[in-house]
Amino acid sequence: MIITVAGEKKEYKEGLSLVELIELEKIDMPEYVTVSINDDFVSSEDKETTVLKEGDSVEFLYFMGGGC
Amino acid sequence: MQPGMNSKDMSIIRMNCELYDQIVQYAKEHLPEESCGLIAGAIEGDSKTIKKVYFLENVDHAEDHFTLDPKEQLMAVKDMRANGYKPIGNWHSHPSSPSRPSVEDIKLAYDKDASYMILSFLTAAPVFHSFHIENGAYEKEDLRVFNEEYYF
């Protein structure tokens, strides 16, 4: 199936899970990454169980914050 | 700087003074809170040129902390892509501390590919520096603010 990852169309196996995609995309420190699928943010609880489907568009956003 | 760190410090980051002025103006308007945003532009080899500054809400609305709004972050990333820009990093202000990463800034710097730019209002004249942060260490980057005639 074709999914779009960070704006780039890629082919992955059917039934790919979000956890598998994070591994395949070599996302560093995924616990600090916010994931959106088709502009909807995936909650931390749902990250483990989310399965991707044809045509999904996935974005990985690092948490950005700090203090002074 | 950690031994073995793949330093990005040899790259030059260029920023037009008009963009710098926009950041100073925005951050001043939001004092005493910290303000924040993203930086995007062109990357060619070791050279980075900032083309656009994004002004995002500090969802913490605090004087000593900032967090980017993920929804605005997503919109900014899409805008970068639509304009052919690459993400270069982020910026935030320090209303009353120096232009260097704080302990919390270092702890929360999860993206080793990002430049972390800090605008300080500690002194009468604002100070703006860019840093590479990785493995709990930081190093100042070669940020050059310029107009068409000179760098400063």
| pLDDT tens per residue, range B13-26 | 999 999 999 999 99
ipTM of the predicted structure?
A: 0.89
pLDDT lower than 70: segments of chain A: none
Contact yes or no for B73 and A64 at CB 8 A: yes
Domain that holds residue A54: 2-62
The total number of structural domains that make up chain A: 1
Write the CATH number for A55: 3.10.20.30
Of B111 and B56, the one with more pLDDT = B56
What is the Cα gyration radius of chain A? 12
Touching check for A32 and chain B: CB below 8 Å? yes
Q: Kindly report the backbone phi and psi dihedral angles of residue B79, in degrees, each rounded to the nearest multiple of 5, phi listed first.
A: -65, -40
CATH 3.40.1230.10 fits B12-146, yes or no: no
Going by DSSP bridges, is the β-strand pair A2-5/A57-62 parallel, antiparallel, or unpaired?
parallel
Touching check for A68 and chain B: CB below 8 Å? yes
- Residue in chain A closest to B67 (alpha carbons) equals A65
Residue A51, in any domain of the structure: yes
Q: What is the predicted pLDDT for the residue at B39?
A: 98
Beta strands in chain A (DSSP E): 2-5, 8-11, 33-37, 40-41, 57-62, 65-67
Residue A36, in any domain of the structure: yes
Touching check for A65 and chain B: CB below 8 Å? yes
Give the CA angle between residues B64, B70, B74 to the nearest 5°.
135
Give the CA angle between residues B72, B111, B34 to the nearest 5°.
50
How far is Cα A40 from Cα A35, in angstroms, rounded to an integer?
Answer: 8
Percent of chain B with pLDDT over 90: 84
Residue A67, in any domain of the structure: no
pTM of the model: 0.89
Residue A68, in any domain of the structure: no
Best CA proximity match to B76, nearest among B91, B63, B66: B91
- Could you report the per-residue pLDDT of B24-77, keeping only the tens digit for each? 999 999 999 999 999 999 999 889 999 999 999 999 999 999 999 999 999 999
Domain ranges in chain B are 12-146
Q: Is B107 helix (H, G, I), strand (E, B) or coil?
A: helix
